[in-house]
């Protein structure tokens, strides 16, 4: 397809800074590829071109397109992520900062392990939550180019400050670099050493950056540092799709770029090649409410399609049923394939009722960017508690719940299982007996706790109350908070959703057994046999993807915009609006949006309760509903 006027202008831009503002579906990847090829055709040495992306997937896609267009066996100039660039640089220049070329790169898990090791060596006893605080502090201060004093102020605790300082020292002494350190160390070396800086600036004379609105402070500084001499920097950006502020992305960097380079050329890619005019109109009306929005004409030459459909449903269970039924109609009557459709939601836990309805309806599906709801660890742990309640000889469930108890390892579990078999008693009784014979206080307390929990009185006619009792008596929420501080809220939300899901069996004979049977059907591997599946994912996971048909569910005040995001972030409402915009603009042909009039959940006594819900303000802003109609 021929390039349009604005795309051509961007591709043919040669020297000087340039900001390309791109709308969703405007062909920005093609522009980056074609501009790279055009530079080479203009006799620019390929080795002088630097293309930076945010994901390996995007980098590989760009490499492949460039390779095919130029007829190469492989691309021999740099197209990759910020981290891969800095890792490559540090292999060559790391000695300026005391690193040898064979340094080890630490991932997130490695980083946590090293933090604990530093604490042990200093005879400090810290929990996982404290270790996460240290991890966050040492990462953030380097990503945002703060001084170490920021870490001291953030942590406030002398012990944790010593661990943070010891962690950074240990990295350098042991030739270890984490992800934040890759960019930070590269920047410091380039800043301090003119010979290195001159060589790199004369190498990377032409710099192209994709998704520039997602850069953090250190990434943005690196761009300007490398491109500072020749100033041939092209940023491709859409501030309306900046949805990663919670992990340090700064869409404000685009404004700073324009201020820094007053003669910067600005080219707007406003024509959408993905969506229908109806989808474009709704998304455009919404995003204009953001102050950060750059006022460019958002348009498309695509043929007219159906209006965006917005439906009110009674609750999330009815919503899931409606979505499943509509998908079946689209497949059976509309000729669409399951793989043509995606369901988007704000929070991971919202997949549960959808997964249930998809399974019951025989619709193949896949959760993208995460586990299926009933495969998530905290949910499987809760299932194990419930299974063992119903069958005290269930060794698989018993083994899993024992892993939640400090001090109980496979040797102890083996002793309990052996006692149960030899004495022909259940595992609860065996736990109690072994607990009285073991010297370890931790193990003895754990065995007694298991025995005590399962000898409690349970209301078997009330599955939610049984689950809440188990979760409470095992201290499971505290366990999640301590073990997974970075996403404790999401994990506890999933536990709550599991409890809510059991609520429909309150008062039923053998309700718990029926609930567990339903779960086993949903978690069956049968649904994995087909490749042609409906995609389920969070709105954050949807960025960069597109589908002919999109369902956005739970578009309600407090969910989208998410109340926690609004409360905790000064710009939270704007980022939530951008997130909604991203969801809408994933759709090519049909966009369905649903919101619930109420939410069904389990109350404190284990009985189902109804909580009033209301439409999101974004639906009014997008012109999909009128406030006076409700």
CA distances from 402 to 293, 373, 386, 398, 414 (A): 52, 22, 13, 6, 11
- Judge whether 586 counts as a catalytic residue: yes
Tokens representing residue 15 in the block: 């020297």
Q: Among 229, 226, 190, which residue's Cα sits nearest to residue 209?
A: 226
Identify the active-site residue in 586, 588, 589, 599.
Answer: 586
- Name the region of 2 (left: φ>0; alpha: ψ -120 to 50; beta: rest): beta
Of 59, 92, 99, the C-alpha closest to 77 is: 59
Catalytic (active site) residue 191: no
Helix/strand/coil percent split, the chain, to 5:
55, 15, 30
29 in catalytic set: yes
Q: How far is 385 from 375, CA to CA, in rounded Å?
A: 15
Q: Which of 34, 143, 178, 211 is flagged as catalytic?
A: 211
Active-site entry in 143, 210, 355, 576: 210
Q: Which two tokens stand for residue 610?
A: 């109804």
> Looking up tokens 């399974």, which residue turns up?
359
Task: State the catalytic residue, choosing from 7, 17, 21, 28.
Answer: 28
Report the 10 Å Cβ neighbour count for 440.
Answer: 13
Helix axes 128-143, 179-192, angle to 10 degrees: 30
* DSSP assignment letter at 303: P
Would residue 28 show up in a list of annotated catalytic residues for this protein?
yes
Tokens (6 digits) for 388: 């063992």
Omega before residue 561 within 30° of 0, cis: yes
Identify which of 119, 110, 90 has the alpha carbon closest to the alpha carbon of residue 102.
90
Known catalytic residue at 609: no
Q: How many residues does the chain have?
A: 630
Rounded to whole angstroms, how far apart are CA atoms 454 and 473? 10
211 is catalytic: yes
Catalytic residue among 7, 17, 215, 241: 241
Check 29, 81, 252, 433 and give the catalytic one.
Answer: 29
DSSP 373: G
Task: Identify the bridge partners of residue 594 per DSSP, sorted by sequence position.
Answer: 311
DSSP states of 94-121: GGGGT--TTPEEE-HHHHHHHHHHHHHH
Phi then psi for 193, rounded to 5 degrees? -125, 105
- Coil, helix or strand for 594? strand
| Residues taking part in catalysis | 28-29, 210-211, 241, 586
């Amino acid at each position: 397809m021929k390039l349009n006027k604005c795309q051509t202008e961007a591709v043919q831009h040669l020297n000087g800074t340039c900001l390309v503002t791109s709308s969703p579906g405007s062909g920005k990847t093609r522009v980056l590829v074609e501009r790279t090829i055009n530079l080479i055709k203009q006799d620019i040495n390929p080795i002088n071109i630097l293309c930076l992306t945010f994901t390996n997937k995007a980098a590989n896609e760009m490499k492949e397109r460039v390779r095919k267009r130029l007829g190469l066996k492989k691309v021999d100039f740099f197209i990759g992520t910020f981290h891969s660039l800095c890792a490559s640089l540090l292999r060559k220049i790391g000695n300026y900062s005391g690193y040898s070329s064979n340094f080890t790169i630490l991932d997130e898990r490695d980083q946590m392990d090293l933090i604990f090791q530093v604490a042990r060596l200093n005879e400090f006893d810290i929990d996982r939550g404290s270790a996460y605080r240290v991890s966050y502090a040492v990462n953030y201060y380097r990503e945002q180019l703060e001084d170490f004093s920021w870490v001291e102020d953030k942590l406030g605790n002398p012990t944790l400050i010593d661990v943070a300082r010891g962690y950074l020292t240990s990295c350098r002494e042991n030739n270890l670099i984490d992800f934040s350190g890759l960019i930070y160390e590269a920047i410091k070396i380039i800043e301090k050493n003119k010979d290195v800086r001159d060589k790199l600036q004369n190498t990377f004379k032409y710099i192209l950056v994709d998704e520039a609105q997602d850069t953090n402070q250190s990434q943005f500084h690196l761009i300007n540092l490398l491109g500072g001499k020749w100033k041939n920097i092209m940023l491709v950006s859409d501030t309306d799709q900046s949805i990663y502020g919670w992990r340090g992305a700064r869409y404000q960097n685009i404004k700073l770029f324009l201020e820094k380079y007053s003669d910067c050329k600005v080219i707007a890619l406003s024509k959408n090649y993905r969506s229908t005019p109806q989808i474009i109109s709704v998304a455009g009306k919404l995003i204009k409410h953001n102050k950060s929005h750059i006022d460019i004409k958002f348009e498309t030459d695509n043929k007219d399609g159906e209006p965006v459909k917005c439906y009110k449903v009674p609750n999330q269970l009815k919503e899931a049923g409606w979505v499943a039924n509509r998908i079946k109609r689209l497949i059976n009557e509309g000729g669409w394939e399951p793989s043509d459709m995606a369901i988007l939601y704000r929070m991971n836990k919202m997949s549960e009722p959808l997964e249930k309805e998809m399974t019951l309806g025989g619709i193949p599906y896949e959760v993208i960017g995460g586990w299926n709801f009933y495969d998530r660890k905290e949910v499987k742990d809760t299932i194990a508690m419930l299974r063992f309640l119903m069958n005290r000889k269930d060794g698989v469930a018993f083994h899993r719940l024992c892993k939640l108890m400090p001090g109980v390892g496979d040797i102890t579990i083996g002793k309990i299982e052996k006692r149960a078999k030899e004495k022909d008693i259940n595992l609860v009784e065996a736990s109690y007996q072994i607990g009285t014979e073991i010297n370890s206080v931790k193990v003895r307390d754990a065995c007694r706790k298991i025995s005590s929990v399962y000898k409690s009185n349970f209301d078997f006619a009330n599955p939610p109350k049984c689950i809440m009792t188990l979760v409470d008596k095992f201290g499971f929420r505290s366990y999640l908070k301590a073990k997974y501080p970075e996403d404790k809220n999401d994990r506890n939300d999933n536990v709550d959703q599991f409890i809510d899901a059991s609520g429909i069996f309150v008062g039923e004979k053998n309700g718990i057994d029926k609930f567990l049977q339903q779960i086993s059907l949903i978690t069956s591997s049968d649904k994995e046999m087909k490749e042609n599946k409906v995609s389920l994912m969070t709105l954050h996971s949807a960025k960069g993807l597109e589908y002919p048909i999109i369902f956005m569910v739970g578009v309600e005040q407090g969910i989208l915009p998410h109340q926690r995001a609004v409360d905790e972030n000064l710009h939270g409402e704007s980022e939530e609006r951008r997130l909604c915009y991203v969801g809408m603009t994933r759709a090519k042909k049909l966009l369905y949006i649903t919101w619930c009039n109420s939410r069904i959940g389990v109350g404190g006594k284990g009985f189902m309760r109804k909580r009033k819900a209301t439409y999101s303000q974004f639906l009014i802003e997008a012109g999909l509903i009128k406030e006076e109609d409700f």
